Amino acid sequence: MKKKLLITGFEPFGRDTINPSWEAVSRLEDTIGDYELTKLRLPVVFGAAAERALDTARELGPDAILCVGQAGGRSAVTPEVVAINLRDASMEDNAGNRPMDEPVVPEGPAAYFASVPVRKIADAVRGKGISCALSYSAGAYVCNDLFYTLRHRYEGTKTRTGFIHVPCLPEQAKDQAPCMPLDTIVQALGIAITAL
Ligand code: PCA
C-alpha cells in the first residue's frame, strides 16, 4: 500500500499574480515513488494557512507533509532546516495582517528542526543537476508560520514534516532577478518526494 503525502503550495501574494509553489505542486503526478499525493492550495494568511493544512491532515492521516513556498531572490531550491517560533512580517498578508514580534505558538519552543531528511533531499536534487542548497531560515512570514505550526503539532508523532522554498518563475523575475523554470521546479519536487 502506498504511503500518504500531503503536499501544499500557496496562492499568490504581494505584487505577484502567480505563485511558483502552487504552480509546481499542482503539476506533480498523483503518485510519486512510495507516495500517493494529496495536493492543497493554501491562503497566504497567518494562522489560516496552518489551520487549513491541519484540517486536511486530520482527515487524511498523512505519513509525511511537505509544504512548498516562493522565496523571491533565491536562485536555488532550498529545503528549510529549521522553523522558528516568530511572526515578524515585513508586509501585510493577504488578509491585511502584519504581526510583529509575536510567537507562532505562545509557550512553544523557540524552534523545531525539519523532520524530513533535508540533507538527503538536497543531495538527491543536486545529484540530478538542479541548483539546491539547505536554508537555515524560512523567514518569519506565512511560510515559517505554517512550517512551525505543523512541526509543533506533529512533534513526537510518526508524521514527518518539511518545507521547501522555491525560486520565482522567469515571468515574475524582473531586472535579471534569480528565477527557475517551472519544469525544473516540478522535477526538483518530484526528486525530493522520492528522497523522503
Ligand atoms: N512565500 C511566503 C508566503 C507564501 C509564499 O509562497 C513566505 O516565504 O513566507
Ligand 1: centre distance to CA 117 (Å): 21
Residue 148 pLDDT: 99
175, pLDDT greater than 90: no
**Gap between the Cα atoms of 36 and 50, Å rounded:** 21
- Whose grid coordinates read 509525511? 64
Which DSSP state fits 83? Answer: E
Q: How far is the CA of 54 from the centre of ligand 1 (A)?
A: 18
Return the H-helix or E-strand segment holding 57: helix 48-60
CA distances from 76 to 34, 150, 180 (A): 25, 24, 8
Domains of the chain in start order, with CATH, are 3-194 (3.40.630.20)
Residue 101, pLDDT > 90, answer yes
Give me ligand 1 centre to Cα 77, in Å. Answer: 14
Instruction: Assign 174 a pLDDT band (cuts: 50, 70, 90).
Output: confident
User: Distance (Å, rounded) from C-alpha 101 to C-alpha 97?
Assistant: 13
Instruction: Classify burial at 104, counting beta carbons within 10 Å of its beta carbon; exposed 0-12, middle 13-18, buried 19 or more.
Output: buried
- pLDDT in the model for residue 51: 98
Grade residue 176 by pLDDT with cuts at 50, 70 and 90: confident
Determine the pLDDT at residue 50: 98
Q: To 5 degrees, how large is the angle CA 141–CA 167–CA 125?
A: 115
pLDDT at 160: 98
Digit-coded pLDDT (tens) for 14-63: 999 999 999 999 999 999 999 999 999 999 999 999 999 999 999 999 99
**Pocket test residue of 21, 46, 97, 142 for ligand 1, highest count of atoms within 8 A of CB:** 142
Q: In angstroms, how far is the first alpha carbon of the chain from the final one?
A: 16
Pairwise CA distance, residues 159 & 196, whole Å? 12
Q: What is the pLDDT of residues 121-163, one digit of tens each?
A: 999 999 999 999 999 999 999 999 999 999 999 999 999 999 9
pLDDT at 104 over 90: yes
Instruction: Compute how many other C-beta atoms are within 10 angstroms of the C-beta atom of residue 102.
Output: 14
What residues act catalytically?
80, 143, 165
Q: Torsion angle of alpha carbons 23, 27, 33, 39, nearest 10°?
A: 70
- Residues touching ligand 1 (Cβ under 6 Å) are 10, 13, 19, 21, 44, 69-71, 139, 141-143
Q: Which of 10, 67, 77, 172 to mutate to test the pocket of ligand 1 (most atoms within 8 A of CB)?
A: 10
Question: What is the whole-number distance in angstroms between the Cα of residue 141 and the centre of ligand 1?
Answer: 7
pLDDT value at 98 more than 90: yes
Please report the pLDDT score of residue 116 as a whole number.
Answer: 98
Q: How far apart are CA 123 and CA 134, in angstroms?
A: 10
**So what's the pLDDT on residue 61?**
98
